[in-house]
A and B are shown apart, each in its own frame.
Chain A
Amino acid sequence: MINTIHKLEKTAIQVRRSILQTTHTAGCGHTGGSLSEADILTALYFHIMRIDPRIPHKQGRDRFILSKGHATPGYYSVLALRGFFPEEELNTFDRYGSRLQGHPDMHKTPGVDISTGSLGQGISLGIGMALSAARNKEEYRVFVLLGDGEMQEGQVWEAALYAGSHRIQQLIAITDYNKVQLADTVKGTSDLEPIGDKWRAFGWSVLECDGHNMAELVPTLEKACEIAKSGPVMVLAHTVKGKGVSFMEGKYIWHGKSPNDTEYKAAMTELNIIEEACNENR
């Protein structure tokens, strides 16, 4: 297990490098939220999810929905590193004609299970996929990654109500709870707290963990998968927007911004230091 955690930590550093390179090359993209979701996506795609990058549409595979659809640099980086498409293709991100659109397109990008982009829609899609698993007697799990800000959308609560009252199984929602949205903090916009109580009141099981600590994140997600056999689960993963790059951390201006040359170099240097520390701690 220690070995697994260490490997995942190293992979997550690689994902962060890839995110920075992707948005730096494109000159655009959502860097902050991609860095905050990096560990969650790494844990899912490199450990938790039953998938086969050689057969992206494999019958019975686990499904993933990026409800916070703008965080594609993180999503695409993980898909590329996992082998769904060549890493070099990340350099085409957001370019006209690219398979890597600003928001996920299920018909363009290998590994993307469903198109998203307009916030608040992911859990509803996830319920439909989970219902389909039940109808088809398939055992796949459905993972939905939400941003915290998007919980201000009413549809999230329509979906929460339905999934809770119908005890939808095999549905695992994860909140990338970085506490910062596009224009301000979440607290300064429409505070979600007490967020765990809200989901519990809607009939969901709620787990919380540090969304950047693999040793917490992995067992929490594994536990979520167990609990999801009997009803919907919300994992509140406490994260930091821009995690891994000191001058981006917790700052809403990094929501939809890409690093310039100087910032890119400084950020990559920081990641090198994190990687060295990671190697030493082994």
Chain B
Amino acid sequence: MKIGDMIASRVAFGKALVEAAEEFKNLLVFDADVNASTQTHFFKEAYPDRFYQCGIAEANMVGMAAGISTNGWTPFVSTFAVFLAKRAADQIRVSVAYPALNVKLNGAYGGLPTGKAGATHSSVEDIAVMRAMPNMKVLIPADPVETRSAVMLALKTPGPVYIRTVRCPVPVIFPESYKMELGKGLEIHTGNDIAVVSTGMMTPKALTAAENLERRGIRVRVIHMGTIKPLDKDIIIRAARDCGHIITVENHSIIGGLGGAVAEVLSEHQPCFLTRLGFPDIFMESGENEEIFSSLGINTENIEEAVKRILGRK
């Protein structure tokens, strides 16, 4: 994977599972009839005896995974985020998070991009739900390289981990050698004029926006928050002190996701101005991803406009 290559994180996820299977002999994969979409079919083909097709029954799938994990196995449960995080929310809560079992969760098709499937399939609130669960860790990789690293990190981290992947291709921004660290935000563009804190597939957009603004003399600090929980509070507090205004950008509702998490940190530790870019408490609809991102005001050009608007006021 070279910088700039366009690869969907779901594909990177599917291939990473196959790569991980040799090192992690106890890795099993559980699917709810969507492996062709979430790309766990790579694993199914390579390791058919370590793959469980659970059918369209997410609650039972999570329970089975919890049960098998009590005896030394590490199941990676994978289906669409919208169903995993909510339809099976109680099973994740009681059978996985509460007993802190070694179950890994892949919320595929995170956020808007679902292949135009619209409101029922676009997960606007999964980060909020998963983040609120005790014992749960939440990873939202930015690009295919980080997605691969997130899979390895999840498998090395004891207990429940939720990874959110996306359907659409995203540009590679990290070098092949990059390794994700749990609970560490990453400053990927320096600047003190304003700070943009982004996560998941919004990070490449935020980075491009910062590079475009740099050419116009505006220095934006971009922080990629690959781990939403545990959250890197220090990097947020430092950004607030140095820049005085933070913009959060996410492929998720502004309620309870990255924007909510950053707001919690700022209000308790370092109050500063905050602008949350994300879904404004609405359901998504069918359409082209980029068209909808733009209309919601969370595309590259919107981030640039928001920065200029805020700095103009400053």
Q: Measuring CB to CB, which residues of chain A are less than 8 angstroms from any residue of chain B?
A: 105-107, 113-118, 120-121, 123-133, 135-136, 138, 154-155, 158-159, 161-162
Contact = CB atoms under 8 A, between A and B. Distances in A.
A132 B67 contact: yes
Best-surrounded residue of A118, A126, A128, A159 (most CB of chain B within 10 A): A128
A115 to B, nearest CB: 4
A138 B68 CA distance: 13
Given A124-B64, A125-B67, A162-B54, A132 B59 contact: no
Interface string B25-68: 00000000000000000000000000010110101111111111
B92 to A, nearest CB: 11
B72 A136 contact: yes
B234 to A, nearest CB: 31
Contacts of B175: none
Contact of B91 (A106, A121, A131, A138): A121
A154 to B, nearest CB: 7
B57 A116 contact: no
A115 B98 contact: yes
Contacts of B60: 124, 127, 155, 158-159, 161-162
A128 B94 contact: no
Contacts of B63: 121, 123-125, 127-128, 155, 159
Contacts of B67: 114, 124-132
Given A115-B94, A132-B73, A136-B72, A106 B99 contact: yes
A120 B60 CA distance: 10
A152 to B, nearest CB: 14
Nearest to B67: A128
A125 B66 contact: yes
A236 B130 CA distance: 37
Nearest to B64: A128
Best-surrounded residue of B59, B64, B71, B75 (most CB of chain A within 10 A): B64
A141 B49 CA distance: 22
Given A116-B95, A125-B66, A162-B64, 12 more contacts: A107-B100, A115-B98, A118-B95, A124-B95, A128-B66, A128-B75, A129-B70, A131-B52, A132-B71, A136-B71, A155-B63, A155-B91
9 contacts: A105-B98, A114-B70, A115-B94, A115-B98, A124-B66, A125-B64, A135-B68, A136-B71, A155-B60
A120 B88 CA distance: 12
Contacts of B94: 115-118, 121
Contacts of B65: 128
Contacts, number: 103
Given A118-B90, A118-B94, A162-B54, A155 B59 contact: yes
- Going nearest first, the 9 A-B pairs with the smallest beta carbon separation are A128-B67, A124-B63, A158-B60, A158-B57, A128-B68, A132-B71, A125-B67, A128-B64, A155-B59
Band of interface residues on B: 20 to 34
A154 B72 contact: no
A116 B67 CA distance: 11
Interface in B61-108: 61-73, 75, 90-91, 93-95, 98-100
B57 A125 contact: no
Contacts of B99: 105-107, 114-115
Nearest to A133: B71
Contacts of B91: 118, 121, 124, 155
A144 B70 CA distance: 15
A129 B59 contact: no
A124 B71 contact: no
B1 to A, nearest CB: 33
B93 to A, nearest CB: 8
B64 to A, nearest CB: 4
Given A131-B68, A132-B70, A155-B63, A162 B95 contact: no
Nearest to B100: A107
B45 to A, nearest CB: 20
Contacts of B71: 129, 132-133, 136, 138
B70 A113 contact: yes
B62 to A, nearest CB: 7
A240 to B, nearest CB: 29
A160 B11 CA distance: 33
